[in-house]
């Protein structure tokens, strides 16, 4: 997209004024996600939608917040990592409001964390299940039952590297500014992230292929079509009684109804039944691991080697290496680089399909390689050492299959049905078509027109607010409102876009530099306003 002249609007109608408005609004949303509980700072994905702090949402929220409040942003990372499991796993949800051993109140959120510690296979009424069913699980004892039992995508080092680069850039123009991501503070985070990366290699490669597998769809893309066949296998034995039990407990549908949303955007009851069954069987896996017993592929209910997870972990390893270097931890830098290089070769060896011209998901339970048309297959682009011919082919697929007038769709319109009754594409249903702005932000550098994608996302945020996800055909906002990671992406992009417009107007540049780019971020009065109106920092 050609840049416009001084003070003009962009072709999507963005002006310096509207960008400032977006900065203010996204700051407000970001602050409204932040809560102080038990002396620690947590970010909930969106106020009122999910009652807990989520793994990969947290660094993406922190990244946006870092532009206006560095200390809170760093604390979000540090505090979440206090719940890292002993073996290195960063849990996918932390329920900081629970004291150890306390149950999640019925109707607050389904499913409660107990599902990750119950080793019996059947779906139950979790409000009634006796504590004896889970309290002896070693992981329950270790965490007090305040976390789930899986992890999410390893975006931590990627977001932290963006935060680090941002501060370093500011420091170049304001050398008097004190750095908040000091080498000591960085080193603390780097050590924990290194441990979590090691955990992926040790616990998520059941066939020793040198790449990593997803053990549960709640890794981050819940109902994506790449899991359809593996999920169908698990869902097969679900009884009508189990489905009825699921239906009465699902709080997500109640929440969406209360907001006049459409339940057809959500995963189905049968999906939920399979999610819970996998969780129970994984409870047996973690129990065995913690007792030092060997785990075989037969113990693991669901294991899908994933180009999304592997591609992201490769990039995260390289970002971790750079951060470790900056923190004076050359040993970790070296280890992370080696892991990335090894994984990069194995990813091409095991997941690339030359005939299909794309990366595939590989079901470890049947060794079936699937050229599904899901956006996760483009994530190997995050690996900068991808062989050039493969890189070119993946970029072509990204462009041809996923770019719409409004952003990057999560599934392609041409994705064939993989199991009966589940269309391969649905523009409204979560990870089966909608645009997710955090994904767009990660992948747009590999498209032919990243500027348009960025402007398009900003325009949607201006029109619809920071929605959880959007319809790829109409641009309409879907899912939760005031969504944290969308606000994080908007915050960073709006500032960068404003910068570009300012660069064409020296007077404007002076004015906004004084407000937005001052060390410490945006105007103090905006911070005050948001704190007052959102209860930020209140329990």
x/- letters, 334..373, toward ligand GLC (CB under 6 A): ----------------------------------------
Residue 379 near ligand GLC by CB under 6 A: no
**Which of 42, 54, 156, 164 forms a contact with ligand GLC (CB under 6 A)?**
54
Q: What are phi and psi of 271, to 5 degrees?
A: -60, -50
Residue 59 near ligand GLC by CB under 6 A: no
CB 506 within 8 A of CB 38: no
**Among 48-56, 128-136, 365-373, 402-410, the segment contacting ligand GLC (CB under 6 A):** 48-56
**Among 53-61, 397-405, 421-429, 445-453, the segment contacting ligand GLC (CB under 6 A):** 53-61
Instruction: Tell the smallest beta-carbon distance from residue 63 to ligand GLC (Å).
Output: 15
Looking at the Cβ atoms of 221 and 323, the one nearer to ligand GLC is 221
29: nearest Cα among 479, 488, 348, 506: 488
Looking at the Cβ atoms of 154 and 220, the one nearer to ligand GLC is 220
Residue 191 near ligand GLC by CB under 6 A: no
Residue 222 near ligand GLC by CB under 6 A: yes
Residue 45 near ligand GLC by CB under 6 A: yes
Residue labelled with tokens 């072709």: 11
**Among 51-59, 182-190, 355-363, 388-396, the segment contacting ligand GLC (CB under 6 A):** 51-59
Q: Spell out the residues 6+ positions from residue 506 whose beta carbon is closer than 8 angstroms to its own.
A: none
Looking at the Cβ atoms of 54 and 272, the one nearer to ligand GLC is 54
The full 3-state SS of 421-474, as one line of letters, equals CECCCCCCCCCCCCECHHHHHHHHHHCCCHHHHHHHHHHHHHHHCCCCEECCCC
The two three-digit tokens of residue 481, written as one number: 């409102």
Residue 56 near ligand GLC by CB under 6 A: yes
Residue 225 near ligand GLC by CB under 6 A: no
Instruction: Tell the smallest beta-carbon distance from residue 50 to ligand GLC (Å).
Output: 5
Looking at the Cβ atoms of 228 and 335, the one nearer to ligand GLC is 228
143: nearest Cα among 283, 24, 329: 283
Instruction: Tell the smallest beta-carbon distance from residue 110 to ligand GLC (Å).
Output: 12
Residue 64 near ligand GLC by CB under 6 A: no
**Which of 149, 220, 261, 521 forms a contact with ligand GLC (CB under 6 A)?**
220
Q: How far apart (Å, rounded) are the C-alpha atoms in residues 500 and 6?
A: 10
Per-residue CA distances from 415 to 304, 381, 409, 423, 425 (Å): 18, 20, 12, 8, 6
Residue 42 near ligand GLC by CB under 6 A: no
Alpha helix positions (H), 328-382: 330-351
Instruction: Tell the smallest beta-carbon distance from residue 380 to ligand GLC (Å).
Output: 19
Q: How many residues does the chain have?
A: 539
Q: How far apart (Å, rounded) are the C-alpha atoms in residues 495 and 324?
A: 27
Instruction: Tell the smallest beta-carbon distance from residue 252 to ligand GLC (Å).
Output: 9
Return the exposure string of 232-263: e unless at least 16 CB atoms fall within 10 Å of the residue's CB, then b: bbbbeebeeebbebbeebbbbbebbeeeebee
Find the distance separating the first CA and the last CA of the chain, reported in whole Å. Answer: 45
Q: What are phi and psi of 93, to 5 degrees?
A: -135, 140
* Total of residues contacting ligand GLC (CB under 6 A): 8
Residues 113-152 that bind ligand GLC (CB under 6 A): 152
Instruction: Tell the smallest beta-carbon distance from residue 429 to ligand GLC (Å).
Output: 12
**Which of 27, 57, 242, 317 forms a contact with ligand GLC (CB under 6 A)?**
57
Bridge partners for 408 per DSSP: 403
Instruction: Tell the smallest beta-carbon distance from residue 493 to ligand GLC (Å).
Output: 19
Instruction: Tell the smallest beta-carbon distance from residue 519 to ligand GLC (Å).
Output: 31
CB 311 within 8 A of CB 220: no
Which residue's Cβ lies closest to ligand GLC? 45
Residues 150-169 that bind ligand GLC (CB under 6 A): 152
Instruction: Tell the smallest beta-carbon distance from residue 155 to ligand GLC (Å).
Output: 10
Dihedral angle, C-alpha 62, 66, 69, 71, nearest 10 ° = 70
Looking at the Cβ atoms of 57 and 319, the one nearer to ligand GLC is 57
Looking at the Cβ atoms of 50 and 359, the one nearer to ligand GLC is 50
Per-residue CA distances from 239 to 235, 236, 270, 273, 410 (Å): 9, 9, 10, 9, 31
In the complex, the residues that contact ligand GLC under the rule CB under 6 A are: 45, 50, 54, 56-57, 152, 220, 222
């Amino acid at each position: 997209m050609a840049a416009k002249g001084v003070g003009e609007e962009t072709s999507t109608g963005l002006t310096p004024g509207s960008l400032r408005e977006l900065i203010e609004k996204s700051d407000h949303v970001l602050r409204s996600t932040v809560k102080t509980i038990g002396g620690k700072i947590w970010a909930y994905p969106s106020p009122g939608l999910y009652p807990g702090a989520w793994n990969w949402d947290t660094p993406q929220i922190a990244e946006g917040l870092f532009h206006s409040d560095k200390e809170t942003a760093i604390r979000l990372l540090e505090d979440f990592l206090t719940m890292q499991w002993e073996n290195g796993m960063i849990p996918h949800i932390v329920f900081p409001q629970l004291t150890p051993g306390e149950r999640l109140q019925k109707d607050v959120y389904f499913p409660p964390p107990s599902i990750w510690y119950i080793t019996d296979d059947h779906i139950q009424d979790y409000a009634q299940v006796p504590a004896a069913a889970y309290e002896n699980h070693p992981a329950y004892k270790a965490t007090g039952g305040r976390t789930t039992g899986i992890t999410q995508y390893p975006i931590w080092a990627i977001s932290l590297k963006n935060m680090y680069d941002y501060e370093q850039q500011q420091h170049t123009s304001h050398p008097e500014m004190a750095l908040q991501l000091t080498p000591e503070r960085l080193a603390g985070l780097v050590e924990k992230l290194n441990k979590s990366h090691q955990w992926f290699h040790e616990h998520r490669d059941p066939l020793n292929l040198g790449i990593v597998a997803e053990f549960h769809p709640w890794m981050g893309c819940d109902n994506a079509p790449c899991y359809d066949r593996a999920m169908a296998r698990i869902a097969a034995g679900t009884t009508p009684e189990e489905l009825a039990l699921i239906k009465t407990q699902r709080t997500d549908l109640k929440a969406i109804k209360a907001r006049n949303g459409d339940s057809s955007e959500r995963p189905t009851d049968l999906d939920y039944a399979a999610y819970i069954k996998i969780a129970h069987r994984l409870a047996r896996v973690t129990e065995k691991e913690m007792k030092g017993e060997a785990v075989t592929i037969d113990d693991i209910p669901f294991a899908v080697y994933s180009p999304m997870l592997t591609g992201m972990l490769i990039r995260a390893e390289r970002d971790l290496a750079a951060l470790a270097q900056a923190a004076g931890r050359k040993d970790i830098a070296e280890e992370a680089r080696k892991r990335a290089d090894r994984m990069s070769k194995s990813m091409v060896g095991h997941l690339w399909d030359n005939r299909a011209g794309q990366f595939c998901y590989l079901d470890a339970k049947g060794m079936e390689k699937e050229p599904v048309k899901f956006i996760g297959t483009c994530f190997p682009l995050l690996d900068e050492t991808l062989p050039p011919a493969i890189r070119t082919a993946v970029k072509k697929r990204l462009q041809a299959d996923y770019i719409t007038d409004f952003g990057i769709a999560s599934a392609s319109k041409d994705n064939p049905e993989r199991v009966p009754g589940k269309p391969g594409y649905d523009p409204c249903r979560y990870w089966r078509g909608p645009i997710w702005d955090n994904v767009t932000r990660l992948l747009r550098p590999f498209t032919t027109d990243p500027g348009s994608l960025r402007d398009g996302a900003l325009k949607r945020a201006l029109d619809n607010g920071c929605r959880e996800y959007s319809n790829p055909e109409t641009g309409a906002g879907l899912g939760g409102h005031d969504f944290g990671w969308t606000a994080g992406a908007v915050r960073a992009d709006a500032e960068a876009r404003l910068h570009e417009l300012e660069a064409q107007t020296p007077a404007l540049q002076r004015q906004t530099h004084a407000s937005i780019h001052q060390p410490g971020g945006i105007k103090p009065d905006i911070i005050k306003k948001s704190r007052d109106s959102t209860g930020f920092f209140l329990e």
